[in-house]
Protein backbone atom coordinates (compact mmCIF):
# COMPACT_ATOMS: atom_id res chain seq x y z
CA UNK A 1 0.00 0.00 0.00
CA UNK A 2 1.39 3.33 -1.03
CA UNK A 3 2.13 5.72 1.78
CA UNK A 4 0.19 8.93 1.72
CA UNK A 5 1.75 12.39 2.03
CA UNK A 6 0.05 12.60 5.36
CA UNK A 7 2.18 9.81 6.74
CA UNK A 8 5.18 12.03 6.36
CA UNK A 9 5.89 14.90 8.66
CA UNK A 10 4.64 17.93 6.76
CA UNK A 11 7.43 20.00 5.19
CA UNK A 12 5.76 23.15 6.56
CA UNK A 13 5.94 21.78 10.08
CA UNK A 14 9.59 20.84 9.68
CA UNK A 15 10.51 24.22 8.30
CA UNK A 16 8.56 26.11 10.93
CA UNK A 17 10.47 24.34 13.67
CA UNK A 18 13.76 24.78 11.81
CA UNK A 19 13.18 28.51 11.26
CA UNK A 20 12.59 29.05 14.96
CA UNK A 21 15.77 27.19 15.86
CA UNK A 22 17.80 29.08 13.26
CA UNK A 23 16.57 32.36 14.64
CA UNK A 24 17.54 31.27 18.15
CA UNK A 25 21.01 30.03 17.22
CA UNK A 26 23.80 32.12 18.67
CA UNK A 27 26.93 31.10 16.76
CA UNK A 28 28.04 29.81 13.38
CA UNK A 29 28.79 26.28 14.66
CA UNK A 30 25.25 25.68 15.89
CA UNK A 31 23.95 27.25 12.68
CA UNK A 32 26.00 24.79 10.64
CA UNK A 33 24.70 21.93 12.80
CA UNK A 34 21.13 23.01 11.99
CA UNK A 35 21.92 23.14 8.28
CA UNK A 36 23.16 19.54 8.44
CA UNK A 37 20.22 18.43 10.56
CA UNK A 38 17.64 19.74 8.09
CA UNK A 39 19.30 20.06 4.70
CA UNK A 40 22.22 17.61 4.88
CA UNK A 41 22.23 14.33 2.96
CA UNK A 42 20.48 12.65 5.83
CA UNK A 43 18.64 15.78 6.81
CA UNK A 44 15.02 15.88 7.74
CA UNK A 45 13.81 17.89 4.74
CA UNK A 46 16.02 15.86 2.44
CA UNK A 47 14.39 12.79 3.93
CA UNK A 48 10.96 14.22 3.19
CA UNK A 49 11.96 14.58 -0.47
CA UNK A 50 13.21 11.02 -0.56
CA UNK A 51 9.77 9.90 0.61
CA UNK A 52 8.39 11.29 -2.63
CA UNK A 53 8.81 7.90 -4.31
CA UNK A 54 6.34 6.34 -1.93
CA UNK A 55 3.60 8.78 -2.83
CA UNK A 56 0.91 8.30 -5.39
CA UNK A 57 2.18 9.78 -8.68
CA UNK A 58 -0.58 12.38 -8.69
CA UNK A 59 0.51 13.74 -5.32
CA UNK A 60 4.21 13.94 -6.14
CA UNK A 61 4.50 17.33 -7.93
CA UNK A 62 2.55 19.26 -5.32
CA UNK A 63 4.42 17.63 -2.45
CA UNK A 64 7.77 18.17 -4.20
CA UNK A 65 7.00 21.86 -4.55
CA UNK A 66 6.13 22.18 -0.88
CA UNK A 67 9.42 20.54 0.12
CA UNK A 68 11.35 22.80 -2.22
CA UNK A 69 9.68 25.91 -0.86
CA UNK A 70 10.54 24.77 2.64
CA UNK A 71 14.18 24.19 1.60
CA UNK A 72 14.39 27.63 0.00
CA UNK A 73 12.97 29.22 3.13
CA UNK A 74 15.56 27.42 5.26
CA UNK A 75 18.41 28.34 2.91
CA UNK A 76 17.43 31.97 3.05
CA UNK A 77 17.02 31.92 6.84
CA UNK A 78 20.41 30.21 7.30
CA UNK A 79 22.12 32.80 5.10
CA UNK A 80 20.38 35.73 6.82
CA UNK A 81 21.13 34.45 10.33
CA UNK A 82 24.72 33.67 9.30
CA UNK A 83 25.19 37.24 8.11
CA UNK A 84 23.62 38.61 11.28
CA UNK A 85 25.95 36.57 13.48
CA UNK A 86 28.98 37.61 11.38
CA UNK A 87 28.11 41.29 11.88
CA UNK A 88 27.60 40.74 15.57
CA UNK A 89 31.03 39.08 15.88
CA UNK A 90 32.68 41.93 14.06
CA UNK A 91 31.02 44.50 16.27
CA UNK A 92 32.11 42.65 19.41
CA UNK A 93 35.68 42.45 18.09
CA UNK A 94 35.70 46.16 17.31
CA UNK A 95 34.34 47.00 20.71
CA UNK A 96 36.95 44.85 22.44
CA UNK A 97 39.81 46.57 20.65
CA UNK A 98 38.19 49.96 20.78
CA UNK A 99 40.36 53.09 20.77
CA UNK A 100 38.58 56.16 22.00
CA UNK A 101 39.92 58.78 19.65
CA UNK A 102 38.17 61.52 21.60
CA UNK A 103 40.33 60.95 24.71
CA UNK A 104 42.97 63.63 25.24
CA UNK A 105 46.43 62.50 24.08
CA UNK A 106 49.64 62.31 26.06
CA UNK A 107 51.38 65.67 25.93
CA UNK A 108 55.15 65.87 25.47
CA UNK A 109 57.00 65.57 28.80
CA UNK A 110 58.67 68.92 29.29
CA UNK A 111 62.29 68.94 30.43
CA UNK A 112 63.25 70.88 33.53
CA UNK A 113 66.38 72.32 35.06
CA UNK A 114 68.70 69.92 36.88
CA UNK A 115 68.49 70.46 40.68
CA UNK A 116 72.09 71.72 40.65
CA UNK A 117 71.42 74.20 37.84
CA UNK A 118 68.37 75.32 39.74
CA UNK A 119 70.28 75.80 43.00
CA UNK A 120 73.09 77.58 41.16
CA UNK A 121 70.58 79.89 39.50
CA UNK A 122 68.95 80.64 42.87
CA UNK A 123 72.32 81.42 44.47
CA UNK A 124 73.25 83.74 41.58
CA UNK A 125 69.81 85.39 41.66
CA UNK A 126 70.07 86.15 45.39
CA UNK A 127 73.59 87.55 45.15
CA UNK A 128 72.78 89.28 41.86
CA UNK A 129 69.99 91.06 43.73
CA UNK A 130 72.62 92.28 46.20
CA UNK A 131 74.71 93.86 43.46
CA UNK A 132 77.15 91.06 42.62
CA UNK A 133 77.85 90.44 38.93
CA UNK A 134 78.84 87.07 37.48
CA UNK A 135 82.42 86.40 36.32
CA UNK A 136 84.01 83.26 34.93
CA UNK A 137 87.46 81.70 34.86
CA UNK A 138 89.13 78.65 33.27
CA UNK A 139 88.68 75.17 34.75
CA UNK A 140 92.22 74.24 33.73
CA UNK A 141 94.27 76.64 35.82
CA UNK A 142 97.92 77.38 36.32
CA UNK A 143 99.66 76.91 39.62
CA UNK A 144 100.02 80.65 40.06
CA UNK A 145 96.29 81.48 40.02
CA UNK A 146 95.09 78.37 41.82
CA UNK A 147 97.69 78.57 44.63
CA UNK A 148 100.58 81.05 44.48
CA UNK A 149 98.63 84.31 44.11
CA UNK A 150 96.21 83.10 46.80
CA UNK A 151 99.07 83.15 49.24
CA UNK A 152 99.79 79.43 48.96
CA UNK A 153 103.42 79.14 47.84
CA UNK A 154 104.80 75.78 46.67
CA UNK A 155 105.70 74.50 50.11
CA UNK A 156 102.54 75.71 51.86
CA UNK A 157 100.85 72.98 53.92
CA UNK A 158 97.38 74.21 52.93
CA UNK A 159 97.99 72.78 49.45
CA UNK A 160 97.75 69.34 51.01
CA UNK A 161 94.07 69.76 51.74
CA UNK A 162 93.17 70.38 48.12
CA UNK A 163 93.66 66.84 46.66
CA UNK A 164 94.76 68.34 43.38
CA UNK A 165 94.47 66.78 39.92
CA UNK A 166 97.62 67.79 38.02
CA UNK A 167 97.25 67.83 34.25
CA UNK A 168 100.74 68.98 33.28
CA UNK A 169 103.72 70.92 34.55
CA UNK A 170 102.19 73.92 36.18
CA UNK A 171 98.65 72.96 35.09
CA UNK A 172 95.90 71.80 37.44
CA UNK A 173 92.15 71.31 37.32
CA UNK A 174 91.15 74.19 39.55
CA UNK A 175 90.52 72.95 43.07
CA UNK A 176 88.29 75.91 43.94
CA UNK A 177 86.78 79.00 42.32
CA UNK A 178 89.08 81.33 44.29
CA UNK A 179 91.52 81.78 41.34
CA UNK A 180 88.75 83.74 39.59
CA UNK A 181 89.21 86.38 42.32
CA UNK A 182 92.80 86.83 41.11
CA UNK A 183 91.91 86.90 37.42
CA UNK A 184 89.22 89.53 37.94
CA UNK A 185 91.42 91.77 40.12
CA UNK A 186 94.27 91.47 37.58
CA UNK A 187 92.16 92.99 34.84
CA UNK A 188 89.94 95.33 36.80
CA UNK A 189 90.68 98.07 39.37
CA UNK A 190 88.58 98.33 42.56
CA UNK A 191 85.84 98.77 43.58
CA UNK A 192 84.27 95.47 42.59
CA UNK A 193 81.57 93.09 43.68
CA UNK A 194 81.60 89.77 41.83
CA UNK A 195 80.56 86.16 42.10
CA UNK A 196 82.19 83.30 40.17
CA UNK A 197 80.10 80.13 39.84
CA UNK A 198 81.55 77.01 38.29
CA UNK A 199 82.91 73.46 38.41
CA UNK A 200 85.92 72.57 40.54
CA UNK A 201 87.85 69.30 40.86
CA UNK A 202 89.35 67.30 43.71
CA UNK A 203 90.61 63.76 43.98
CA UNK A 204 87.91 62.69 46.42
CA UNK A 205 84.96 60.37 45.89
CA UNK A 206 82.30 59.13 48.33
CA UNK A 207 78.67 59.77 49.33
CA UNK A 208 79.40 63.40 50.21
CA UNK A 209 82.40 64.11 47.91
CA UNK A 210 82.51 64.08 44.15
CA UNK A 211 85.71 64.51 42.07
CA UNK A 212 83.85 67.27 40.23
CA UNK A 213 81.57 69.62 42.10
CA UNK A 214 80.49 73.24 42.04
CA UNK A 215 81.29 76.34 44.01
CA UNK A 216 80.26 79.94 43.96
CA UNK A 217 82.99 82.39 44.88
CA UNK A 218 82.19 85.87 46.13
CA UNK A 219 84.45 88.90 46.31
CA UNK A 220 83.75 92.47 47.30
CA UNK A 221 86.49 95.11 47.39
CA UNK A 222 86.02 98.79 48.11
CA UNK A 223 87.09 101.53 50.47
CA UNK A 224 85.85 100.83 53.98
CA UNK A 225 84.58 97.26 53.51
CA UNK A 226 84.48 95.63 56.94
CA UNK A 227 83.77 92.31 58.55
CA UNK A 228 80.28 93.59 59.38
CA UNK A 229 79.56 93.83 55.63
CA UNK A 230 80.68 90.25 55.21
CA UNK A 231 78.44 89.06 58.01
CA UNK A 232 75.47 91.04 56.73
CA UNK A 233 75.84 89.80 53.16
CA UNK A 234 76.24 86.16 54.21
CA UNK A 235 73.33 86.22 56.65
CA UNK A 236 70.99 87.76 54.08
CA UNK A 237 72.28 85.40 51.39
CA UNK A 238 71.75 82.24 53.48
CA UNK A 239 68.27 83.22 54.66
CA UNK A 240 67.17 83.93 51.11
CA UNK A 241 68.65 80.75 49.68
CA UNK A 242 67.11 78.52 52.36
CA UNK A 243 63.91 80.57 52.31
CA UNK A 244 63.67 80.70 56.10
CA UNK A 245 65.08 82.48 59.15
CA UNK A 246 68.08 80.19 59.62
CA UNK A 247 70.53 80.91 62.40
CA UNK A 248 73.98 81.96 61.19
CA UNK A 249 77.17 81.38 63.17
CA UNK A 250 80.74 82.45 62.38
CA UNK A 251 83.62 80.36 63.70
CA UNK A 252 87.27 81.43 63.51
CA UNK A 253 89.16 79.39 60.94
CA UNK A 254 92.10 79.62 58.59
CA UNK A 255 92.50 80.14 54.85
CA UNK A 256 95.78 81.41 53.38
CA UNK A 257 94.00 84.04 51.25
CA UNK A 258 91.89 85.64 54.00
CA UNK A 259 92.73 87.19 57.34
CA UNK A 260 90.84 86.88 59.55
CA UNK A 261 89.08 83.77 58.24
CA UNK A 262 85.83 82.15 59.30
CA UNK A 263 83.80 79.07 58.67
CA UNK A 264 80.12 79.84 58.52
CA UNK A 265 77.45 77.53 59.96
CA UNK A 266 73.70 77.67 59.42
CA UNK A 267 71.21 76.32 61.91
CA UNK A 268 70.43 72.76 60.76
CA UNK A 269 67.69 73.01 58.14
CA UNK A 270 66.80 69.34 58.68
CA UNK A 271 66.07 69.31 62.45
CA UNK A 272 65.36 73.04 62.75
CA UNK A 273 68.42 73.48 64.99
CA UNK A 274 67.04 71.12 67.63
CA UNK A 275 70.01 68.74 67.39
CA UNK A 276 69.21 65.65 69.44
CA UNK A 277 69.21 62.57 67.23
CA UNK A 278 69.57 64.49 63.92
CA UNK A 279 72.00 62.61 61.72
CA UNK A 280 72.55 65.45 59.26
CA UNK A 281 74.02 67.85 61.86
CA UNK A 282 75.14 64.96 64.11
CA UNK A 283 73.12 66.42 66.95
CA UNK A 284 74.97 69.74 67.00
CA UNK A 285 72.14 71.79 65.48
CA UNK A 286 74.61 73.44 63.09
CA UNK A 287 75.83 72.77 59.56
CA UNK A 288 79.06 74.08 58.11
CA UNK A 289 78.12 75.75 54.87
CA UNK A 290 80.91 78.02 53.63
CA UNK A 291 84.34 79.54 54.12
CA UNK A 292 84.95 83.28 54.15
CA UNK A 293 87.15 86.08 55.41
CA UNK A 294 88.71 89.46 54.80
CA UNK A 295 91.00 89.43 51.78
CA UNK A 296 94.60 88.97 52.93
CA UNK A 297 96.83 91.97 52.05
CA UNK A 298 99.31 89.49 50.52
CA UNK A 299 96.64 88.66 47.90
CA UNK A 300 96.14 92.35 47.10
CA UNK A 301 99.92 92.64 46.68
CA UNK A 302 99.84 89.99 43.91
CA UNK A 303 97.27 91.96 41.90
CA UNK A 304 98.61 95.45 42.63
CA UNK A 305 95.75 96.67 44.84
CA UNK A 306 96.76 99.06 47.63
CA UNK A 307 95.79 97.40 50.94
CA UNK A 308 96.05 100.75 52.72
CA UNK A 309 93.28 102.14 50.54
CA UNK A 310 91.10 99.12 49.88
CA UNK A 311 89.73 96.28 51.92
CA UNK A 312 87.52 93.42 50.88
CA UNK A 313 85.86 90.20 51.84
CA UNK A 314 85.62 86.89 50.03
CA UNK A 315 83.64 83.72 50.44
CA UNK A 316 83.30 80.35 48.79
CA UNK A 317 80.23 78.14 48.97
CA UNK A 318 79.56 74.59 47.74
CA UNK A 319 76.53 74.33 45.45
CA UNK A 320 76.00 70.58 45.97
CA UNK A 321 76.06 71.07 49.74
CA UNK A 322 73.35 73.72 49.57
CA UNK A 323 71.23 71.63 47.19
CA UNK A 324 71.59 68.51 49.39
CA UNK A 325 70.47 70.42 52.48
CA UNK A 326 67.72 72.30 50.74
CA UNK A 327 66.15 69.23 49.15
CA UNK A 328 67.15 66.59 51.75
CA UNK A 329 69.42 64.58 49.42
CA UNK A 330 71.85 62.30 51.24
CA UNK A 331 74.11 61.11 48.38
CA UNK A 332 75.97 63.56 46.16
CA UNK A 333 76.26 60.94 43.40
CA UNK A 334 72.52 61.22 42.70
CA UNK A 335 73.23 64.55 41.00
CA UNK A 336 75.40 62.93 38.34
CA UNK A 337 73.63 59.58 37.79
CA UNK A 338 71.14 60.91 35.27
CA UNK A 339 68.34 58.83 36.85
CA UNK A 340 65.09 60.35 35.62
CA UNK A 341 63.16 59.04 38.63
CA UNK A 342 65.39 61.26 40.78
CA UNK A 343 65.47 64.23 38.42
CA UNK A 344 61.69 64.31 37.81
CA UNK A 345 61.10 65.14 41.47
CA UNK A 346 62.35 68.67 40.96
N1 LIG B 1 88.46 78.26 48.34
C2 LIG B 1 88.05 77.65 49.57
C3 LIG B 1 87.85 76.17 49.36
O4 LIG B 1 87.50 75.77 48.31
C5 LIG B 1 86.73 78.24 50.04
C6 LIG B 1 86.90 79.65 50.45
C7 LIG B 1 87.19 79.94 51.77
C8 LIG B 1 86.77 80.66 49.54
C9 LIG B 1 87.37 81.26 52.19
C10 LIG B 1 86.94 81.98 49.94
C11 LIG B 1 87.24 82.26 51.27
O12 LIG B 1 86.83 83.00 49.09
O13 LIG B 1 87.39 83.55 51.66
O14 LIG B 1 88.08 75.41 50.28
Ligand 1 atom showing the smallest separation from residue 295 Cα: 13
In sequence order, what DSSP letters do the residues of 211-250 get, joined into one string? SEEEEEEEEEEETT--HHHHHHHHHHHHHHHHTS---EEE
Tens digit of each residue's pLDDT (9 = 90 or more) over 6-53:
445 788 889 999 999 999 999 999 999 999 999 999 989 888 888 888
pTM of this structure = 0.71
Question: Cα(first)–Cα(last) distance of the chain, in Å?
Answer: 101
Contact 70, 12 (CB under 8 A): yes
Whichever domain contains 180, its CATH number is: 3.30.930.10
Instruction: Give yes or no: residues 172 and 286 share one domain.
Output: yes
Instruction: Give yes or no: residues 64 and 171 share one domain.
Output: no
d(CA 291, CA 195): 14
Q: What distance in angstroms lies between residue 309's CA and the mean position of ligand 1's atoms?
A: 23
Across residues 127-147, what is the average pLDDT? 97
Instruction: Give yes or no: residues 303 and 157 share one domain.
Output: yes
Instruction: Give yes or no: residues 139 and 12 share one domain.
Output: no
Across residues 85-102, what is the average pLDDT? 90
Instruction: Give yes or no: residues 49 and 131 share one domain.
Output: no
Higher pLDDT among residues 230 and 55, named by residue = 230
Q: Packing angle between helix 11-24 and helix 60-96, nearest 10 degrees?
A: 0
Last residue of a domain, one of 96, 130, 150: 96
Which residue puts its alpha carbon closest to atom 4 of ligand 1? 176
Lining residues, ligand 1, CB within 6 Å: 176, 178, 217, 255, 258, 291-293, 314-316
Q: Which of 291, 293, 299, 315 to mutate to test the pocket of ligand 1 (most atoms within 8 A of CB)?
A: 291
Last residue of a domain, one of 96, 123, 154: 96
Q: Is residue 90 part of a domain?
A: yes
Q: What distance in angstroms lies between residue 162's CA and the mean position of ligand 1's atoms?
A: 11
Q: What distance in angstroms lies between residue 261's CA and the mean position of ligand 1's atoms?
A: 9
Domain housing 178: 115-343
Tens digit of each residue's pLDDT (9 = 90 or more) over 275-304:
888 887 889 999 899 999 999 999 999 999
Q: Which of 159, 164, 175, 178 to mutate to test the pocket of ligand 1 (most atoms within 8 A of CB)?
A: 178
Q: How confident is the model at residue 4 (pLDDT cuts 50, 70, 90)?
A: very low
Strand partners, 166: 172
Q: Is residue 108 part of a domain?
A: no
Backbone angles phi, psi at 334, to 5 degrees: -60, -30
Ligand 1 atom showing the smallest separation from residue 313 Cα: 13
Return the closest-CA partner of residue 176 out of 161, 192, 194, 154: 161
Q: What distance in angstroms lies between residue 67's CA and the mean position of ligand 1's atoms?
A: 110
Amino acid sequence: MAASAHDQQLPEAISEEALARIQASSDSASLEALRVEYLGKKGRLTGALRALGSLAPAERPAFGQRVNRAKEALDAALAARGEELRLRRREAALEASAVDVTLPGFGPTPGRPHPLSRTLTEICDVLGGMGFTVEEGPEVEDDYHNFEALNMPADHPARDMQDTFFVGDDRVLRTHTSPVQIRVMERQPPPLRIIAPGAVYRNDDDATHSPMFHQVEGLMVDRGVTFAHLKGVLTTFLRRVFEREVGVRLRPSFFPFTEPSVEVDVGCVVCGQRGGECRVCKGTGWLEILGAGMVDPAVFAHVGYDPEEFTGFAFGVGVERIAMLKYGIDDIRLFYGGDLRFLRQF
